[in-house]
Amino acid sequence: MVLNQLSQAEVQAVAFSHDDLGPEPTRWTHSGIAARQALFVWWGYVTGLPNRRPILVLRLFDPDGNTHDLFHSENAPGMFGTPTPLSAAGEVFSGTPDRVYGRIEGDPDGLGLPGEWTYETSADSPRMLYRAGTQGMRVIEADVLDVTAEYLPLATAVNPPGVFAPYFTWSAEFSGTYRGEEVRFMGGSDRFYSREAIADLIASPEPYSAFVFSGVGSDGRREWGSAYQVGAKSFGMYCRDGQEPVVSNDVDMDATYVSDPADPSRVAPQEATWTLAESNSIGRRRAPPWRLSSTISAPGTSATARVSSCVR
């Protein structure tokens, strides 16, 4: 399902197909756009553990079979502290997987619809697994993490000439175990299809900001989306169960920054509002914007973002 045609929109709200999980999605290649998978990543913030601050878990892969070491750390207290690494040496997999990312027949974890197949990369010692279907993914990291994630219904697809394009980002709800304790937490995944776009981002002197969120409102409806800015270019999407998604390549950010008392050259946003101007299929029009306000907690508490208001 595609809610906007590729030729008509720089940013789309989409649902995954089998083809999107492969190395070269035809949603781009059929239009003559080079889109060979360059980097993909899953990530999440483990929350709700007793006496623990949010714990970041994240791993990157490339299509040549290389993995980047698992990011696994507990958030620092306050806004400027240093996260605490949590994996012991040799505890989780590092190196080239035994099986590089590719299609496998069947769906042992029920990550797709009946009759669908999955894609995976994995290693045996220590055990590591990333398996993806059209509806969810399975992640195993030795004895640290064993979770299954259900994708939230729509992902953001960015088409050239947009930021990072061609590019997917989406949110997911994880459940399973962290070091043997049952957990439920929010996270997501990203896929890049242009090495040049990644290199340009790393080398760019332009300011870069990214705000990714997901959660459940007081009425039980899920909310999720993102807002990215790289220099003068931007994109964003806001979704809420039961409402049409808002997609935009016109994002504004209004933030209040504070300095690190120990090093005034370091700054961080204490409060910020992102405004998404909805885009139509021809160009851009100014519509009543979505304002996503995020408050970063004060020093002495965990520095995590939350959606504090969302009004149109």
pLDDT at 124: 95
pLDDT (average), residues 120-146? 96
The distance of Cα 310 from the centroid of its chain, to the nearest Å, equals: 20
**45, part of any domain:** yes
Tokens 């520095």 sit on residue: 303
Range of lowest pLDDT (146-160, 192-206, 267-281, 288-302): 288-302
148 vs 218, more confident: 148
**1, part of any domain:** no
pLDDT (average), residues 97-114? 91
pLDDT at 279: 57
Structure tokens at 293: 């306000």
Phi-psi region of 3 (alpha: psi -120 to 50; beta: other; left: phi over 0): alpha
Number of domains in the chain: 1
**33, part of any domain:** yes
**129, part of any domain:** yes
Q: In what order do the strands lie in the sheet with 246-248?
A: 208-216, 222-230, 233-240, 246-248
Q: How far is residue 155's CA from residue 2's CA, in Å, rounded to a whole number?
A: 10
Q: Which pLDDT tens digit goes with each residue over 89-99?
A: 899 999 889 99
Domain that holds residue 278: 6-311
- Is pLDDT above 50 for 130? yes
- Evaluate whether 223 touches 212 at the Cβ level (below 8 Å): no
**47, part of any domain:** yes
pLDDT at 45: 93
Range of lowest pLDDT (9-13, 83-87, 136-140, 166-170): 9-13
Q: Which residues pair with 231 in a beta bridge?
A: none
pLDDT at 31: 87
Give the Cβ contact number of residue 150 at 10 Å. Answer: 13
Over its C-alpha atoms, the chain yields an Rg (Å, rounded) of: 19
Q: Which pLDDT tens digit goes with each residue over 37-88?
A: 899 999 999 999 999 999 999 999 987 767 788 999 999 887 888 899 999 9
Report the mean per-residue pLDDT for the chain.
Answer: 82
Q: How far is residue 99's CA from residue 185's CA, in Å, rounded to a whole number?
A: 28
Instruction: Tell me the whole-structure pTM to 2 decimals.
Output: 0.84
**159, part of any domain:** yes
